[in-house]
């Protein structure tokens, strides 16, 4: 996930977060971020679930044998 940052960058971010928010606010901030990700994931799942029935309700494609010329229909195995 953090391939470009590396260990020193992550340590620097943690120290910066401690200085900005303080040790008392970090757990609350972490919970808020976790809730946000969870709600986003649930919303994405709902959108995906809503779009699947729409795709399935499309009319089926006509059979190719019905649209083929008469000369080709004779060659099709039964």
* Tokens matching residue 16: 């910066």
Q: Which is more confidently placed, 57 or 29? A: 29
* Tokens matching residue 53: 């029935």
* Per-residue model confidence (pLDDT) at position 5: 81
Q: What is the C-alpha to C-alpha distance for residues 3 and 62, in angstroms, rounded to an integer? A: 49
User: For 7-20, what is each residue's pLDDT tens digit?
Assistant: 899 899 989 989 99
Q: What is the C-alpha to C-alpha distance for residues 30 and 16, in angstroms, rounded to an integer? A: 15
Q: What is the C-alpha to C-alpha distance for residues 9 and 2, in angstroms, rounded to an integer? A: 9
User: For 3-52, what is each residue's pLDDT tens digit?
Assistant: 688 889 989 998 998 999 888 998 898 899 999 999 999 999 999 888 76
36 within 8 A of 44, measured Cβ to Cβ: no
Query: Tokens 């972490």 correspond to what residue?
Result: 30
């Amino acid at each position: 996930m953090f391939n470009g940052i590396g260990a020193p960058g992550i340590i620097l971010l943690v120290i910066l977060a401690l200085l900005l928010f303080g040790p008392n606010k970090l757990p609350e901030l972490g919970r808020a971020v976790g809730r946000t990700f969870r709600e986003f994931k649930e919303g994405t799942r709902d959108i995906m679930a809503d779009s699947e029935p729409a795709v399935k309700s499309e009319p089926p494609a006509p059979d190719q044998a019905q649209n083929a010329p008469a000369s080709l229909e004779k060659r099709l195995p039964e």
